[in-house]
Amino acid sequence: MHFSSSVIATALLGLASAQKVHVVSVSSTTDKTLLAFSPNNLKADVGDMIQFQFLNGNHSVVQSNFDNPCTPIQAFVKNATGMFSGYMDVAASASTGMIPTYTMEVASNTPLWLYCSQGKHCQSGMVMVVNENTSANETRSLDNYKAAAAKATENLDPSKITPASGGDSTDGTTGGTTSSIPSASATAPAQGLGSVVSVSAWTGLLSIAAALAML
Ligand SMILES: [Cu+2]
């Protein structure tokens, strides 16, 4: 894993200015069979950070567009970056007392559609949205995305697709940073706390510190 020092400095500066960090739990500490992101529908402002904390199993986070769930967005949108966390095998890092995280900055307030590319997890409902906007288009809801995902014939990660050579390039896409944090600092499941969990920058700083330690 390689991070340039300027990237880390930028991340530290961002966190130091009390950037909002939304934590999304991937699976669950108590139910390793849970195929879900929690929360799965959150609102975030441009510049906010979203940190996926991989609590169990072996999952990923991949960006699609609304119309093509379970397929990376770059298969349909020319020049899209399309975020992909990679596969995070939680058991593999358990002995270190760390859990993998993936942290991304929200680059746009248009809807960001995400799924897990492992097995048939996407079809099983392991999908989510950031900044759903049903007031702009009521059919573009998480429920409809999930319903379309259930019917997808394949569940693909970016290594399995050919990048689009045509099509529009208007969908906002984004990348992120892989890291890990001590298991003990993972945020408790968000049930009952509403769709947005605000944490201090501390969790993010921990993950950056962990990244620095691995350089
Ligand atoms: Cu999964």
Give one DSSP letter per residue of 41-110, joined into a string: EE---TT-EEEEEE-SSEE--EEE-TTSTTS-GGGTSTT----B---EEHHHHHTTTEEEEEEEE---SS
Per-residue pLDDT at 10? 53
CATH number for the domain spanning 180: value is 2.60.40.420
Measured between alpha carbons, how far is 121 from 149 in angstroms, rounded to an integer? 10
Mean pLDDT of the 154-167 span: 86
Residue 116 pLDDT exceeds 70: yes
**Cα→Cα distances 49→23, 34, 59, 198, 205, Å:** 9, 24, 20, 10, 12
Q: How far is the CA of 17 from the centre of ligand 1 (A)?
A: 33
Q: How far is the CA of 54 from the centre of ligand 1 (A)?
A: 10
| Interval 47-60: pLDDT, tens | 999 999 999 999 99
Mean pLDDT of the 92-111 span: 92
Q: How far is the CA of 24 from the centre of ligand 1 (A)?
A: 13
Per-residue pLDDT at 178? 80
Residue 114 pLDDT exceeds 70: yes
Per-residue pLDDT at 7? 53
Q: How far is the CA of 128 from the centre of ligand 1 (A)?
A: 12
Q: Structural domain tally of the chain?
A: 1
Share of the chain above pLDDT 70, in %: 73
Q: How far is the CA of 214 from the centre of ligand 1 (A)?
A: 26
Mean pLDDT of the 82-101 span: 92
Per-residue pLDDT at 186? 74
Q: How far is the CA of 134 from the centre of ligand 1 (A)?
A: 26
Which of 183 and 115 is assigned the larger pLDDT? 115
Residue 154 pLDDT exceeds 80: yes
Q: How confident is the model at residue 177 (pLDDT cuts 50, 70, 90)?
A: confident
* Residues at Cβ < 5 Å from ligand 1 ion: 59, 116, 118, 121, 126
Q: How confident is the model at residue 79 (pLDDT cuts 50, 70, 90)?
A: confident
Q: How far is the CA of 29 from the centre of ligand 1 (A)?
A: 14
Per-residue pLDDT at 80? 85
Per-residue pLDDT at 150? 98
Q: How far is the CA of 59 from the centre of ligand 1 (A)?
A: 4
Q: How far is the CA of 77 from the centre of ligand 1 (A)?
A: 24
**What residue numbers bound the domain in which 76 lies?**
5-213
Q: How far is the CA of 26 from the centre of ligand 1 (A)?
A: 8
Which of 23 and 12 is assigned the larger pLDDT? 23
